[in-house]
Structure 1
Amino acid sequence: MNKLQKLDLGNVPQELKLMLEWVNEQNNEEIDWEKFQAIDWDFFVQLAIHHRLYPLLATKIKDDPRVPENVQTTLTNLFKQNTYRMLHLCAEIEGLGQLFKEKGIRSLFLKGPLLAEDLYGDISKRTSGDLDVLIPIHQLEQTENLLIAQGYQKDEYIQSLLNDWKWRHHHFTYYHPIQGTKIEIHWRLNPAPSREPSFAELWDRKRRSLLTNSVVYMLSKEDLFFFLVTHGARHGWSRLRWLVDIHKLTQQGLDWRRILKQLRKYQVCSVGGQSLILSQQLLKTNITEEMRSFFKGRRPLKLAEGAVYYVEKMVHLHSDPVPKEVAEYHAKHLFSLMPNRQKTFYLLSTLYPYYTDAETLALPTKFHFLYFPLRPFLWLWRKTKKKPSPKVEL
């Protein structure tokens, strides 16, 4: 095993460390319970829910006399609810896959039950709140009309000026009020200015899922590693479910040379190294000779050290309002993930008008081009008035 410099995990809660011992797939008898004498079991349950690890834990702690009965009952009930939820999503995938095929819409299902079956061999062992589907950008309108015809409603939270939605964002969200299903339709894996494979490239390397009777496709294992690494890093690995995904994926005989070539091409090799360092030190992932190239230089370790912040705390990035301290730290961490070229593009992108510029000064559509020279002045005006700056999705 490649020897990696140790991360400082001294401030990681004992409850989370115990949780990771179970998730590590070790025999429970091997757990050194002398280290876990003062476990706050209520906090343990909170962490299990936050990190979305309760499906894995429910079966691990069942009938364990060292775990309070109420904790076992809570996690078991959550496990059952998740199983029903995943079965419902399977049925939705079945229907959507058939519809997309009939309408000629090329689609790649990114996560959900397909990912659970692929990585864990059981849809009940991973949670999923929605379905994520990647399609070519030119089929967005057709897909939206199809979903609306099926009873879905679009969440109009994205406000755009001068078509900046195409690169500032990467998906639209649709919700079915009766079925309670949410679908995110992606035209990119991640928002710009990140670089990534084109849809055509991903489509050429696709795999067919065997979970459904309908023909549905998902990413190749190597493209899946690229997606899961960049997605998890962008969210600070604030939910360890994403890191467990990486741990599981590394056990599936990946073509590491192809992965390394791809990560280098899109300048995210250090981000791949970050994920493997975290996975190795938190989940004891086996680091093979082929993985050593991901750890060259100081940057992967530095990025991993930066992510420990999210492991030490129970960070909620998806619940507004995000505390100021967390928001500021996350913005800096996101910037640190970018290679120099991407940082340059990001800084330049702040000169492109935002929808808040139109809210500050309304201009007729034919004069929207004036927002480019006016943007610095409108930004300064908002700062003077102490209005919040626009939220940028990275």
Structure 2
Amino acid sequence: MRKKVLVNHKPKSKELSLLLRLLKAEEEININSSNELMLLNNINWCFFLELVDHHRCYPLVYSKLKNIDENLVPSHVIEALYHEYKKNTFKMLQLTGEMEHLSKVFDKKHIPLLFLKGPTVAYDLFGDISLRMSKDLDILVQEKDLEGTDKILLSLGYKKEEVQTILNEIKWRHHHIEYYHPEKKILVEIHWRLHPRSLKGASFKELWRRKRKSTLTDQPIYFMGKEDLLLYLISHGSRHGWFRLRWLKDIDRIVRIHNIDYKHFNSLVRKYRQKHLVGQAFQIANTLLDTPLHENIQNLAVTRRAISLANKALPYVNEMVQFHRGTMPRELAKSYRNYLLSIKTNRQRLMYFIILFYPNPLDEKTIKLPKRLYSLYFLLRPFLLFWRKFKKTHY
């Protein structure tokens, strides 16, 4: 494996440089060089903790710094890291228990489940569920099993996310829905597709055929094969602009610890038209974390488009940007929309614009039609979009 860096990146702060150094390290940090000592000088530790929180890296950072001399790292910093590490460990244990429980219940109802992230991936990548942070369980089911899934989760005390929809728009436009258990305080995302509709992905049957069984619990729990998981993690990270280093660390770990079948992986990449996303991911991971570039990945990573997309995403790391539901500042929202368009293929852009003209609940609020005439929203939508934009710019 050869390293070939074609993206220039200079961390914006000493704190980010330190965080990257810690994420690159495989073991606890040993201060054995003047360069490493310099990294710890003049650190704004409050800002450093903000960075660690933003990038969801508390467990890994704590594991690297926990035994370091307090003259180099203040004790309150280690205590803060330990507090979050402990909190995450309890959360991961709780999620593991719930994952096993759900698997048993669904198994009795003959509904197959694939766990996409969470404790299974933490255990697979780090051999220790406490070393990766997760806030929820992401589960993939077949679309035909959505009704049965809904009944099971509601019977177990989960509350379904209230989503306004018309003309079954939610299944067309979205790819998952949330369920929350108010007593257990556990969030479960039920996916019926891996990605938003414009991005092509493997079907449930394909993923099930290549699944792996986790050894984390006694109850059989299934998750994706190595190559499918790697491609899924890349697709997920790219859609979010790689604004969390945790996602890049996942890529780094899976490449380092698993014997990836790159011939099979490349066939999946071509099939689902994601060469540019894989190239971008490996460029960024190689630049920031020294992730090795396998010879079969070189032809994907060393392309003009992969480098261009990597350069577009790197500022999101530097600026501690995050994209989330709710209102984003106008410039950030515009930047994100442009970025999302830039990572799409021409076919995906076409599909994106087709989906854009599918009616949504805002159309119903703009002009109320009786249900028997809802199909007219397809014809009215371009005018309704224009009207809302016109009103927004004139008030």
Interval containing the TM-score (normalised by the shorter chain):
over 0.9
TM-aligned CA distance change 1:5 to 1:62, over 3 Å: closer
Rounded to whole Å, the distance in 2 between the matches of 1:384 and 1:322 is 20
The answer to whether structure 1 residue 325 and structure 2 residue 327 are counterparts is: no
Asked if 1 retains the 8 angstrom alpha-carbon contact of 2:214 and 2:223, the reply is: yes
TM-aligned CA distance change 1:308 to 1:321, over 3 Å: same
How far the C-alpha of 1:211 sits from its partner, in A, is: 0.5
Q: Counterpart amino acid of 1:28? A: N
The residue that corresponds to 1:23 in the other structure is 23
**Normalised by the size of structure 1, how large is the TM-score?**
0.95
Asked if 2 retains the 8 angstrom alpha-carbon contact of 1:22 and 1:28, the reply is: no
The residue that corresponds to 2:360 in the other structure is 354
The answer to whether structure 1 residue 40 and structure 2 residue 44 are counterparts is: yes
Q: Deviations over 1:93-125 (max 9, x none)?
A: 110010010001111001111110000110000
How far the C-alpha of 1:224 sits from its partner, in A, is: 0.2
The answer to whether structure 1 residue 159 and structure 2 residue 161 are counterparts is: no
Rounded to whole Å, the distance in 2 between the matches of 1:387 and 1:55 is 46
Rounded to whole Å, the distance in 2 between the matches of 1:6 and 1:12 is 19
The answer to whether structure 1 residue 267 and structure 2 residue 273 are counterparts is: yes
How far the C-alpha of 1:4 sits from its partner, in A, is: 3.2
Rounded to whole Å, the distance in 1 between the matches of 2:173 and 2:42 is 46
Unaligned runs of 5+ in 2: none
Rounded to whole Å, the distance in 1 between the matches of 2:112 and 2:40 is 50
The residue that corresponds to 1:315 in the other structure is 321
Q: Deviations over 1:193-226 (max 9, x none)?
A: 1111111100111111110111110000110011
Say which of 241, 246, 251 aligns to 2:251: 246
Asked if 2 retains the 8 angstrom alpha-carbon contact of 1:12 and 1:311, the reply is: no
Say which of 183, 188, 199 aligns to 1:183: 188
Say which of 72, 77, 86 aligns to 1:80: 86
Q: Report the more deviating stretch, 15-24 or 292-301.
A: 292-301
Unaligned runs of 5+ in 1: 389-394
The answer to whether structure 1 residue 67 and structure 2 residue 73 are counterparts is: yes
**Normalised by the size of structure 2, how large is the TM-score?**
0.94
The answer to whether structure 1 residue 101 and structure 2 residue 103 are counterparts is: no
The answer to whether structure 1 residue 196 and structure 2 residue 198 are counterparts is: no
Say which of 53, 57, 61 aligns to 2:57: 53
Q: Report the more deviating stretch, 322-331 or 52-61.
A: 322-331
How far the C-alpha of 1:167 sits from its partner, in A, is: 2.7
Rounded to whole Å, the distance in 2 between the matches of 1:212 and 1:196 is 28
Q: Report the more deviating stretch, 280-289 or 312-321.
A: 312-321
Q: Counterpart amino acid of 2:207? A: L
Rounded to whole Å, the distance in 2 between the matches of 1:268 and 1:79 is 35
Rounded to whole Å, the distance in 1 between the matches of 2:167 and 2:61 is 47
TM-aligned CA distance change 1:208 to 1:145, over 3 Å: same
How far the C-alpha of 1:315 sits from its partner, in A, is: 1.4
How far the C-alpha of 1:191 sits from its partner, in A, is: 0.9
Rounded to whole Å, the distance in 1 between the matches of 2:42 and 2:13 is 11
How far the C-alpha of 1:11 sits from its partner, in A, is: 4.9
Say which of 292, 295, 320 aligns to 1:289: 295
Q: Equivalent pairs: percent with the same residue?
A: 42
The residue that corresponds to 1:89 in the other structure is 95
How far the C-alpha of 1:363 sits from its partner, in A, is: 0.8
Rounded to whole Å, the distance in 2 between the matches of 1:16 and 1:384 is 42
Rounded to whole Å, the distance in 1 between the matches of 2:137 and 2:161 is 15
TM-aligned CA distance change 1:36 to 1:325, over 3 Å: farther
Q: SS of the residue aligned with 2:392?
A: coil
Asked if 2 retains the 8 angstrom alpha-carbon contact of 1:108 and 1:135, the reply is: yes
Q: Deviations over 1:248-273 (max 9, x none)?
A: 01011101111111111111111011
Q: CA RMSD in A?
A: 1.6
Aligned length: 387
Asked if 2 retains the 8 angstrom alpha-carbon contact of 1:167 and 1:193, the reply is: no
Q: SS of the residue aligned with 2:81?
A: helix
Asked if 2 retains the 8 angstrom alpha-carbon contact of 1:260 and 1:294, the reply is: no
Rounded to whole Å, the distance in 2 between the matches of 1:337 and 1:78 is 34
TM-aligned CA distance change 1:239 to 1:142, over 3 Å: same
The residue that corresponds to 1:391 in the other structure is none
Rounded to whole Å, the distance in 2 between the matches of 1:185 and 1:372 is 28
Q: Counterpart amino acid of 1:342? A: Q
Q: Counterpart amino acid of 1:337? A: I
The residue that corresponds to 2:153 in the other structure is 147
